[in-house]
A and B are shown apart, each in its own frame.
Chain A
């Protein structure tokens, strides 16, 4: 159960970061958001 709650939180953060990536105009901040996406995707899929 706790794992599904954890994955839900990860999904929420991932969606918020993706929205920020698409809404942001500063390209450096967009790049930072894109980098943050990588571990979140791996966590969501429980690969790492």
Chain B
């Protein structure tokens, strides 16, 4: 290094100032990702809590997310719906939001957690070019929602190990999976941040005597487990009944068993470690696929992608994919239909424990009107 002149020092001071301005602008953008959009519960809400009520170590963290209770006037069972286990799978999250805003429960209790992994909503996956937000147009104006990451924010949990060892089974997965909530169940109190989120949900299931856990997901169109119900073996008869009802309603869907050797999933661990029945549902989401084109908010909401159309013509996908694509309405309609049927038919699997959900739109109505027509206007 040589001694610098006053001119170069002045230039250096200017560059430093410019760096701080850029850093401040970036900090503001990243800070906005930590702000949760307001929830607008409907008339069906009877009680509200947070995950920290079930795992106190989550208090004042990004994972301390809302838990909504909707109780019916008549006795029945208890159904828990998880949205946002993977925050880059928006149909699951938005189905949970729609339930919170529109559902009324006639019998039993419905519990909804729209942002199961709140930390995952505070960042995006690096190098994916994903949008930070997307908008759903309602009659009262556009509502903005966060598009997050599959995994917990590394600001909340780091470093990733080379190999993730699932605590209760010893299963070994790639290191990044250590921040995947759906590989962390049943969780543990002295575990990682993600394992404590999983523990909070498992504790909620036990304390609230949940009969059925429905975990809402999405998958890329080239992934074989798609437009599918995945069920723990104890939930298979119920899932088969729901599958038949959905097929008769014109919704093509398949049924898969939750593999006994793939551990940490909500279906596997809730089914093994709690008295609840556990199922998971998948819809197609081109925004998380590997062969997608530009990753934009329009792709997230509209679900149209020319590259996937070509892939479908070449028979490389596990779902049909034409110019209509897979708009968010179609994906939420599938999830919503499944949730309502699962809740109702739970009464056949566990007599007297059915949950009657009313007030939500039917699949055809939702597809016709658009999702925004059934959401509350922005505050």
Question: Does B169 interact with chain A (Cβ within 8 Å)?
Answer: no
Among the listed stretches B17-25, B51-59, B287-295, which one makes contact with chain A, having 4 or more residues with CB under 8 Å of it? B17-25
Question: Does A1 interact with chain B (Cβ within 8 Å)?
Answer: no
Structural contact, A34 and B18, CB atoms closer than 8 A: yes
Question: Does B307 interact with chain A (Cβ within 8 Å)?
Answer: no
Q: Which residues of A contact B20 (CB under 8 A)?
A: 37, 41
**Which of A2, A25, A31, A35 has the most chain B CB within a 10 Å cutoff?**
A25
Report the minimum CB–CB distance from B127 to chain A (whole Å). Answer: 14
* Tally of chain A residues near chain B (CB < 8 A): 23
Bound Cα distance A34, B19 (Å) = 6
Report the minimum CB–CB distance from A31 to chain B (whole Å). Answer: 6
Interface string of A11-48 (1 = CB under 8 A from B): 00000001011111101001101110110011001111
Contact A25:B30 (CB < 8 A) given known A38-B19, A38-B22, A38-B23: no
Interface of B, secondary structure class, is helix
Interface of A, secondary structure class, is helix
Structural contact, B19 and A23, CB atoms closer than 8 A: no
Q: Which residues of B contact A33 (CB under 8 A)?
A: 15
Q: Which residues of A contact B11 (CB under 8 A)?
A: 27, 30
Question: Does B1 interact with chain A (Cβ within 8 Å)?
Answer: yes
Report the minimum CB–CB distance from B78 to chain A (whole Å). Answer: 39
Residue of A nearest to B15 (CB): A34
Contact A18:B22 (CB < 8 A) given known A42-B27, A46-B155: no
Bound Cα distance A17, B8 (Å) = 15
Question: Does B237 interact with chain A (Cβ within 8 Å)?
Answer: no
Q: Known contacts A31-B15, A42-B26, A42-B30; can you find 20 more A-B pairs with CB under 8 A? A: A18-B16, A22-B4, A22-B12, A23-B1, A23-B2, A23-B4, A24-B1, A24-B8, A25-B8, A27-B8, A30-B11, A30-B12, A33-B15, A34-B18, A37-B19, A38-B26, A41-B19, A41-B23, A48-B30, A48-B155
